[in-house]
Amino acid sequence: MGTEEVLTAYRSPWQNAYVERLNGSIRRDCTDHIMVCNERHLKPILRGYFDYYNDDRTHLGLSKESPVARPVSKLISMSDNLLEMPKVNGLHHRYECREAA
């Protein structure tokens, strides 16, 4: 395929734009809003954020889709049809339409 490995300098994360973009997203969307006590406390928070990032969060590079595809639901009316699902301990939310009874 003609690709070559390019090594980044040690302790120079700004040379890897993909890692910096992910680090910035984690910081802005998650850790800036939570007081982290220790590594044991941080791991489940990051696990929840990664699930939210891949399953629920929209990405501009994917035409406002999430990496894991999900069906699109159409909202008919706002009255009692909207289901709120908290993600990352309530820091973010996902909304879906409930079937009318």
Q: Are 46 and 26 in contact (CB under 8 A)?
A: yes
40-59 pLDDT, tens per residue?
999 999 999 999 988 888 88
Q: With respect to residue 26, please indicate whether it lies within any of the assigned structural domains.
A: yes
Q: With respect to residue 4, please indicate whether it lies within any of the assigned structural domains.
A: no
**pLDDT for position 78:** 58
Q: Which domain holds residue 75?
A: 15-97
Q: With respect to residue 78, please indicate whether it lies within any of the assigned structural domains.
A: yes
Q: What would the mean pLDDT of 80-100 be, rounded to a whole number?
A: 79
**pLDDT for position 85:** 86
| Domains identified in the chain, total number | 1
Q: Are 92 and 57 in contact (CB under 8 A)?
A: yes
Q: What is the pTM of this model?
A: 0.68
**pLDDT for position 75:** 57
Q: With respect to residue 10, please indicate whether it lies within any of the assigned structural domains.
A: no
Residue 3: pLDDT band with limits 50, 70, 90: confident
Q: With respect to residue 61, please indicate whether it lies within any of the assigned structural domains.
A: yes
